[in-house]
């Protein structure tokens, strides 16, 4: 992947809104992100949930040049370049792990209509960005890859600066988001609908996300990811030729 861009999974005629999902990666890596690696595959069911919530919006997956953050924030640079070039008026950003860090770093872009970080990687040194609301962070309390405590600390810094933030805890969930898949899907759908239509209620406080069903087995979750990936083709690829 020599150019950043977006793989559109849904693109309704005349769509002016986009839900853009940014996948996770590594702290350091200049390898090609690939199309069949676990971090990006995990985003497919979330894309389907976003599409079901707001069928009039386009839904796409962010494609970086590299797998890693690489000190200089390559994914965030790629995301900003894509936001500058996209033919959409409003973009809801949803990112997991490193993708969560990227959507926060680019969350003040004028096209952004909401930022949702799923188990985001937000180290204590992360610069405070004036994110465009609504803003929600969600983290499993059993995550040992990225820190729920760091996410809470960043949310509190935003609140102190005047940005309302909804901070959601999913009990019994780890970093891969494979134990409470129905709840992650519901969270994405609820946030997307609120950000683009104003339907529902935004609660700017700490929340325990209610469990929709019994925990999902890892095998069932992985099969659902594979099935969703196989039945949803990439309809269009948008590439940025000169990322800033």
Q: What is the mean pLDDT of the chain?
A: 95
Q: What is the mean pLDDT of residues 147-156?
A: 98
Helix (H, G, I), strand (E, B) or coil at 115: strand
Distance CA 85, CA 64 (A): 15
Q: Is residue 37 part of a domain?
A: yes
Q: Is residue 244 part of a domain?
A: no
Helix (H, G, I), strand (E, B) or coil at 118: strand
Query: What is the arrangement of strands in the sheet containing 166-170, beginning at the earlier edge strand?
Result: 206-208, 166-170, 135-140, 112-118, 90-96, 17-22, 58-63, 5-10, 236-239
pTM of the model: 0.96
Q: Is residue 74 part of a domain?
A: yes
Each residue's pLDDT tens digit, 57-92:
999 999 999 999 999 999 999 999 999 999 999 999
CATH code, 99: 3.40.50.1820
Provide the number of structural domains found in the chain. Answer: 1
pLDDT at 241 over 90: no
Domain housing 75: 5-239
Distance CA 100, CA 90 (A): 18
CA gyration radius, the chain: 16
pLDDT at 221 over 80: yes
């Amino acid at each position: 992947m020599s150019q950043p861009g977006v793989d559109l999974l849904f693109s309704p005629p005349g769509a002016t809104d986009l839900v853009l999902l940014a996948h996770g990666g590594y702290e350091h890596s200049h390898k090609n992100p690939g199309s069949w690696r676990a971090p990006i595959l995990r985003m497919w069911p979330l894309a389907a949930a976003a599409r079901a919530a707001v069928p009039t919006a386009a839904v796409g997956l962010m494609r970086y040049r590299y797998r890693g953050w690489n000190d200089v924030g390559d994914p965030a640079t790629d995301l900003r370049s894509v936001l500058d070039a996209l033919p959409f008026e409003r973009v809801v950003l949803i990112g997991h792990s490193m993708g969560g860090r990227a959507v926060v770093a680019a969350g003040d872009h004028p096209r952004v209509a909401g930022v949702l970080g799923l188990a985001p990687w937000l180290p204590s040194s992360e610069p405070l960005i004036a994110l465009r609301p609504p803003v929600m962070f969600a983290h499993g309390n059993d995550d040992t890859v990225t820190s729920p405590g760091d996410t809470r600390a960043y949310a509190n810094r935003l609140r102190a600066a005047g940005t309302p933030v909804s901070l959601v805890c999913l009990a019994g969930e780890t970093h891969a988001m494979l134990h409470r898949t129905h709840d992650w899907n519901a969270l994405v759908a609820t946030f997307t609908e609120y950000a683009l239509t104003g339907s529902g209620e935004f609660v700017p406080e700490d929340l325990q996300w209610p469990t929709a069903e019994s925990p999902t087995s890892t095998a069932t979750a992985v099969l659902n990811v594979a099935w969703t990936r196989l039945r949803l083709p990439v309809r269009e690829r948008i590439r940025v030729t000169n990322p800033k």
